[in-house]
Amino acid sequence: MGALIRWRWCSSLLLLCCLAMPSALLAEDAKSPAPEAAKTEAAKTEKAKSEEAADPAKTPAMQSDIAALWADTNLMWLVIAAMLVFAMQLGFAFVEAGLCRAKNCCNILLKNLMDFCIGAILFFLTGYGLMFGASNGWFGTSDFLYGNAGDVGNTLGPTYSGWGFWFFQCVFCATAATIISGAVAERIKFHAYLVYTVVITGLIYPIYGGWVWGSSNFLFANHYFHDFAGSTVVHSVGGWAALAGAIALGPRIGKYGKDGKVKPIPGHSMPMVCLGVFILWLGWYGFNPGSTLVAQGGHFARVAVTTTLAACAGAITAMITAWVWFKKPDFGMIFSGVLAGLVAITAPCAVVTPVSALIIGGIGGVLVVVGIYALDVVKIDDPVSAVPVHLMNGIWGTLSVGIFANQDYVTKMALPGTPTVMGQLKGIGMAAIWVFPLSLILFYGLKFTIGLRVSETEEMEGLDIHEHGNEAYAGDVIAGVSLPTTGAKVASAVPMTKLAEGGAD
C-alpha cells in the first residue's frame, strides 16, 4: 500500500515537470534573440569596428573634421578668386590708359582707383542690402551696413552669406563701374564721373543683380534666366551705362571730321594695353571659375577650360576679320577680341561644352570688330571699345546660353530648369530697360546741373594738368606740350594746338 502511494507521488511530479518544461523554454526564447539574429548583429558590429580601424575617416569625429576642412577650403577658394577679380582693376587701368593719350593718363588711372574705393563703400552701405537683403520682390530691404551689427561668419551652400561672400560680390560690383570709365575717357569732368560711380554701385547694379543672383531673383527662378558669372549682370550693365555716357558726352574733339570721315586718335602705349589684357585674362580665372563659389565638386576646372578656349577663339577670329576687312591684323582689335571672347563666355561657361565655347568666343571676336566699325558709322566715340566688348558681347554671351546649354551640365549645376532663348532675352531686355534710361537721365542730369564735359581748352591741353595738376610723364614725352608742375598746381602750360592732336582737324 505504501509503495503504491509513493509510485503515485512520483508519477504526479514527473507529469508536472513535463507540463512546465515547454512553457519555460518558450519564455526563455522570448527573452533572448534568435541565435541567427544575434550572430548577424554581432557580425555587423564587428564589421563596423574593423572598418573604422581600417579607415579612420569613417568615424563621426573625423567626418566632422573633414566637413570643417572642406568649408575652410571653399572659403579660401572664394577669397582667392575675389582677389583675382580685384586685380582686374589694374588690368582695366592699363588697357584704358594705354588706349588713351598720355596727357590724360593720370585721370584714367585715378578713375579706376576711385571706382573701387567708392564702389566698395557704397556696396557696404546700400549695395549688398539691395542685392541680397530680405526682398520685397524688387529689391532687398535689410543687411545695409553689412556686418555692422555683429559677426556674420561664413556660410557657403546651399545658401550664401558672410564675409567671404560679401568680398566676392563687392569686387564684381566695382568691375561693373569701371567699364564705364573707358567709354567716357578724355572728356568727362572728374567730379561728374565720381557722382555716377556712386549711383551705379549703390543703386543701379545691385538692384539688377538682385533680380538674377540675389534675394529677388525672379529672373532666375521664374524664367530660368542663366548668367553664371555676369555677361549681363556685370558686363552688359556696365556696357549700357557706358553707351549712355558716350552719347551724352559726344565725341572727342577731332574724332570725326567735317567731311564725316573717322580720324583715328591713337593711344599712347600699346605695351600697356598688352599688359592690361593679360592681367584681365588672368583675373577672369577668378571671375568665371570663381563663380562656382566653392572648390568642392571641381566644377571650376571645367569653367577654366571653356574660359580659356573662348578667349583664344576671340583673338583669332578678331585677327582674321580685321585682316580680311582692313588688310592688316590690327593690334587693338586683336586684343579686344580676347576680351570679347572672355565677356561672351562669362554667362555660359559652366553649362557649355568646349566646342561650344570655341564657337561662342569666335563669334565674339567677329562681333567686336563689327561693333567698333558700327559705332564709328553712327559717330559714337568710345575710345577703348567698351561698348562692343562689354555690351554687345555681353548680350551675345547671355543669349548663347539658350542656344548651346548642355543638359548634362545644366543638371550638374543644379539649375531649376533648362535655359531657353526666350528666357535669356527676358533677362537681357530687363537689363536694357533698367540701366540705359536711368543712365541717360543721370548723365544728362549731370550735364545740365554740375556739368559733364570739360572745356575745349582743358580737353586739348589734357585732363591731367587741368583736373589734377599732375603729369604721367615728363613734359618732353608728350608731343607738342611742356607742362611743368609744382605740387598740385600748374606752374605754366604751353597750349597744344589742334594740329598736334592725333586725328584733329
In order of their start, the domains of the chain are: 75-447 (1.10.3430.10), 457-500 (no CATH)
State pLDDT tens for residues 496-505. 334 344 444 3
- Cα separation of 282 and 91, whole Å? 9
At 51 the pLDDT is: 59
At 112 the pLDDT is: 96
Q: What is the mean pLDDT of residues 232-244?
A: 97
State pLDDT tens for residues 13-29. 544 454 444 454 444 45
pLDDT surpassing 70 at residue 38: no
Q: How confident is the model at residue 3 (pLDDT cuts 50, 70, 90)?
A: low
The residues pairing with 485 across neighbouring beta strands, listed in sequence order, are 490
pTM of the model: 0.84
At 484 the pLDDT is: 42
Q: What is the mean pLDDT of residues 73-88?
A: 96
Q: Which amino acid is at 145?
A: L
Question: Worst-scoring range by mean pLDDT, 192-196, 206-210, 470-474?
Answer: 470-474
pLDDT surpassing 50 at residue 181: yes
At 492 the pLDDT is: 35
The pLDDT > 90 percentage for the chain reads: 73
> If you average pLDDT over each of 138-152, 253-267, 394-408, which comes out highest?
394-408
CA distances for 111 relative to 48, 99, 191, 203, 290, angstroms: 64, 15, 10, 19, 26
pLDDT surpassing 50 at residue 11: yes
Q: How confident is the model at residue 39 (pLDDT cuts 50, 70, 90)?
A: low
Residue 104 DSSP class: G
CB-based contacts of 138-144 (< 8 A; 24+ apart in sequence):
138/207, 138/211, 138/216, 139/206, 139/207, 139/210, 139/216, 140/210, 140/214, 140/215, 140/216
The C-alpha cell that represents 496 in the structure block:
597744344
pLDDT surpassing 60 at residue 312: yes
State pLDDT tens for residues 59-69. 777 888 888 88
Q: How confident is the model at residue 53 (pLDDT cuts 50, 70, 90)?
A: low
Query: HSE-up of 186 (CA within 13 Å, CB side)?
Result: 27
- Cα separation of 251 and 379, whole Å? 7
- Residue predicted with more confidence, 172 or 23: 172
Q: How confident is the model at residue 375 (pLDDT cuts 50, 70, 90)?
A: very high
- Residue predicted with more confidence, 149 or 432: 432
Q: What is the mean pLDDT of residues 194-203?
A: 96
Over the chain, what is the mean pLDDT?
87
pLDDT surpassing 80 at residue 36: no
State pLDDT tens for residues 97-112. 999 999 999 999 999 9
pLDDT surpassing 90 at residue 172: yes
- Cα separation of 186 and 105, whole Å? 9
Burial degree of 147 (CB within 10 A; 0-12, 13-18, 19+)? middle
pLDDT surpassing 80 at residue 478: no
- Cα separation of 212 and 96, whole Å? 29
Alpha helices in 100-139 (DSSP H): 105-122, 128-132
At 110 the pLDDT is: 96
pLDDT surpassing 90 at residue 292: yes
- Cα separation of 23 and 498, whole Å? 119
pLDDT surpassing 80 at residue 480: no
At 64 the pLDDT is: 81
What Rg value do the Cα atoms of the chain yield, rounded?
A: 34
